[in-house]
């Protein structure tokens, strides 16, 4: 046996095959590449312009924190996914802190009520009032908690014009200058998400979910069996009776994409009642979310919360399990977003965002009158 034979024998100790971790990293990286290739995205500042939300199931961030309720808890309701076989019925008081993970059991056995999101969506969609102005200004105040490398409070200005272009400024004067100089930050930022929300108002919700996720097919299509199992372990997904593991993982991933991208659509389209109505309809399709009625500053609110069980490779070896929660606070009469909290349950305080939404004119913004 010569040295080449011995090398071949030595190589044979390692079988060919892709590890789930390698495939996961490739797919996550490819998704980032695709996202970065979209017009109007790719900024990376401390107080950045609006960009696509991370799809947490593909790219897991390191932000930790306790999720604090943005509104006083009155009654928490588990929302049945639209099209679910579960019949509408009784309501059950349930504290927000006990919001469920998106397990199969949650999807099939949670007490259900007629979704307040559906009622609000129908109410908003029926609105015929004409919106003033030609753009929506969102003043976005983000607070990153102590312990975060960029801890602090940042206020920035997003301007979504009705005609498409998106402007961003870290100060009022910067935004005014951008608009006056007609230097938009993005062309059609969140156009796909907003279009999907509009479609969802009257369209087929299964199709709308794929559109909101910017997918033409299930996220698990083309995924190896090994990666499906890896994702199932990572996300704590257990299939419902009669459901394949692949389908259960696909549903969990699609739920997450819809949840994340719907938030983008809701903020970017916050000045448009049809967009808000479509987002609310889409949120009813996300399994296991909770809706809590409450009040903030005297205004009735709905807090829509989503909890995901996750296992992610830590910087050191060994799995890391945690439950990540995001909560979106809406005006209960208009569906306009008021705030967001997100972080890991049981750890240090998480990220909070306060939205102040108003309809404006480009002329007023350019003149600094806002």
Partner 1 sequence: MTHFSRAEAAADAESDDAAVIQRSRAEPEQFTVLFHRHAPHIQRYVTRRLGQDAADDIVAETFLLAFRQRDSYDQDRTDARPWLYGIATHLIGRQRRAEIRQYRALTRTGADPILEPFTDRVDDRVSAKAVGRPLAAGLARLPAELRDTLLLVAWGDLSYEQAAAALGVPVGTVRSRLSRARARLRRALDDTNPAAAREESPA
Q: Which residues bind partner 1 (CB under 8 A)?
A: 2-4, 6-11, 13-19, 21-23, 25-27, 29-30, 33-34, 37, 217, 221-226, 228, 246, 317
Please state, in angstroms and as integers, the Cα–Cα distance from residue 165 to each residue in 42, 87, 88, 213, 346, following that order.
Answer: 16, 43, 42, 22, 40
Residue 26 or 119: which CB sits closer to partner 1?
26
Give backbone dihedrals phi and psi of 320, rounded to 5 degrees, phi first: -135, 120
Residue 33 beta carbon to partner 1: minimum distance, rounded to whole angstroms: 6
Residue 9 or 173: which CB sits closer to partner 1?
9
Residue 11 beta carbon to partner 1: minimum distance, rounded to whole angstroms: 5
Residue 217 beta carbon to partner 1: minimum distance, rounded to whole angstroms: 8
**Which tokens sit at 131?**
């919106």
Residue 153 or 221: which CB sits closer to partner 1?
221
Residue 97 or 215: which CB sits closer to partner 1?
215
Alpha-carbon distance of 95 to 327, in angstroms, equals 14
Residue 229 or 359: which CB sits closer to partner 1?
229
**Which tokens sit at 272?**
């448009």
Residue 224 beta carbon to partner 1: minimum distance, rounded to whole angstroms: 5
Residue 133 or 239: which CB sits closer to partner 1?
239
Radius of gyration, alpha carbons of the chain: 22
Residue 207 or 224: which CB sits closer to partner 1?
224
Q: Distance of alpha carbon 186 from its chain centroid, rounded?
A: 20
Please check whether residue 339 is in contact with residue 131, taking contact to mean a CB–CB distance below 8 angstroms.
no
Q: Which residue shows structure tokens 């109007």?
A: 40
Residue 314 beta carbon to partner 1: minimum distance, rounded to whole angstroms: 13
Residue 215 or 345: which CB sits closer to partner 1?
215
Residue 17 or 298: which CB sits closer to partner 1?
17
Q: Which distant-in-sequence residues (6+ apart) come within 8 Å of 319 by Cβ? A: 311, 312, 313
Length of the chain: 370
Q: Which distant-in-sequence residues (6+ apart) come within 8 Å of 369 by Cβ? A: none
Single out the residue of 270, 327, 248 nearest to residue 131, CA to CA: 270
Residue 28 beta carbon to partner 1: minimum distance, rounded to whole angstroms: 8
Residue 290 beta carbon to partner 1: minimum distance, rounded to whole angstroms: 34
Q: Both ends of the chain: CA-CA distance in Å? A: 82
* Neighbour order of strands in the sheet with 299-313: 75-78, 290-296, 299-313, 319-331, 337-344, 351-360, 135-144, 152-161, 166-169
Please check whether residue 238 is in contact with residue 105, taking contact to mean a CB–CB distance below 8 angstroms.
yes
Residue 5 beta carbon to partner 1: minimum distance, rounded to whole angstroms: 10
Single out the residue of 337, 290, 334 nearest to residue 74, CA to CA: 290
Residue 347 beta carbon to partner 1: minimum distance, rounded to whole angstroms: 26
């Amino acid at each position: 046996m010569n040295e080449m034979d011995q090398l071949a024998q030595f190589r044979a100790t390692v079988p060919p095959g892709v590890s789930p971790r390698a495939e996961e990293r490739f797919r996550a990286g490819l998704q980032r590449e695709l996202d970065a290739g979209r017009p109007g995205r790719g900024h990376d500042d401390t107080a950045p312009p609006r960009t696509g939300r991370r799809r947490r199931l593909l790219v897991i961030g390191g932000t930790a924190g306790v999720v604090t309720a943005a509104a006083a808890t009155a009654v928490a309701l588990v929302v049945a996914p639209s099209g679910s076989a579960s019949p509408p019925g009784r309501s059950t008081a349930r504290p927000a802190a006990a919001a469920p993970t998106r397990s199969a059991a949650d999807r099939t056995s949670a007490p259900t009520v007629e979704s307040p999101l559906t009622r609000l969506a129908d109410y908003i969609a029926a609105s015929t009032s004409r919106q003033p102005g030609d753009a929506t200004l969102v003043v976005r105040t983000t607070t990153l908690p102590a312990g975060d490398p960029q801890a602090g409070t940042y206020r920035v200005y997003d301007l979504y014009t009705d005609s498409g272009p998106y402007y961003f400024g870290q100060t009022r004067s910067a935004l005014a200058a951008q608009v006056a100089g007609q230097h938009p930050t993005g062309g059609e930022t969140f156009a796909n998400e907003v279009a999907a929300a509009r479609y969802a108002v009257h369209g087929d919700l299964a199709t709308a979910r794929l559109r909101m996720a910017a997918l033409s097919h299930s996220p698990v299509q083309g995924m190896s069996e090994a990666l499906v199992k890896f994702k199932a372990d990572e996300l704590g997904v257990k299939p419902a009776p009669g459901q394949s593991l692949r389908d259960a993982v696909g549903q969990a991933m699609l739920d997450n994409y819809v949840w994340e991208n719907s938030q983008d659509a809701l903020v970017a389209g916050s000045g448009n009642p049809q967009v808000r109505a479509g987002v609310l309809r889409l949120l009813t399709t996300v399994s296991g979310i909770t809706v809590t009625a409450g009040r903030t500053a005297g205004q009735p609110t709905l807090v829509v919360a989503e909890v995901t069980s996750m296992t992610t490779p830590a910087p050191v070896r060994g799995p890391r399990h945690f439950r990540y929660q995001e909560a979106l606070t809406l005006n209960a009469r208009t569906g306009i977003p008021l705030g967001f909290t997100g972080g890991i349950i049981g750890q240090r305080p998480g990220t909070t965002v306060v939205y102040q939404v108003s309809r404006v004119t480009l002329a007023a913004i350019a003149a600094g009158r806002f």
